[in-house]
Amino acid sequence: MGTLLKRALDQAAVWHRAQRRKYPNADVPYISHLAGVAVLLARHGFDDEVVAAGALHDAMEDQGVTFDELLQHFGERVATLVLQVTEQDRSLPWEDRKRLYLDAFPGKPWEAQAITLADKIDNFQSIIVCSREHGDPWSMFKRGRDVQVARFEELRAMSRALPP
């Protein structure tokens, strides 16, 4: 593990220290998801900055970390990638935010798209783990199974046009 990724995981653990996965009947630190996203990206050959951005992908959205903080700690490319995968207007209703994100997805750089896909893949892997160890996985989601699967399917369909 490179020093950039180590610093990113350490900082993500601090920023997300009070956050937990939404597993029913289990207290799983959120860093497990962030590390899972980073591992997927590393496993598929992405460079250290993309992998670090994967580990930090929820910092702005979930913890209110600013672009300038990311820039100061991790440099312009990592900060920009995190910004590119962050929902921009949290004041909008959930459905509108997700639609805007999906609409913008095809125009994002490949590395940002890969972070988004790794995020969704890790979430679906967590659903499998949850179903085996913690109970009904779909109770983790306010909108339920069908909405989550439909969003994943939209991203999957868009990803067919992406580079290998």
Tens-digit pLDDT profile for residues 2-32 = 899 999 999 999 999 999 887 777 788 999 9
CB crowding 5-29: b at 16 or more within 10 Å, else e: beebbebbeebbeebebbbeeeebe
* Helix segments in 105-143, DSSP class H: 110-133
User: What does DSSP assign to residue 112?
Assistant: H
- pLDDT (0 to 100) of residue 145: 79
First to last CA, the chain: 24
Contact 83, 109 (CB under 8 A): no
Contact 35, 103 (CB under 8 A): no
Q: Rounded to whole angstroms, how far apart are CA atoms 111 and 140?
A: 28
- pTM: predicted TM-score of the whole model, two decimal places: 0.89
Asked if the model's pLDDT at residue 162 lies above 70, the reply is no
Q: Which residues are catalytic?
A: 61-62
Q: Which fold has domain 3-159?
A: Hypothetical protein af1432 (1.10.3210)
pLDDT band at 161 (very low <50, low <70, confident <90, very high): low
Q: Rounded to whole angstroms, how far apart are CA atoms 66 and 150?
A: 31
pLDDT digits (tens, 9 = 90+) for 120-158: 999 888 888 877 877 777 776 777 778 888 888 888 787
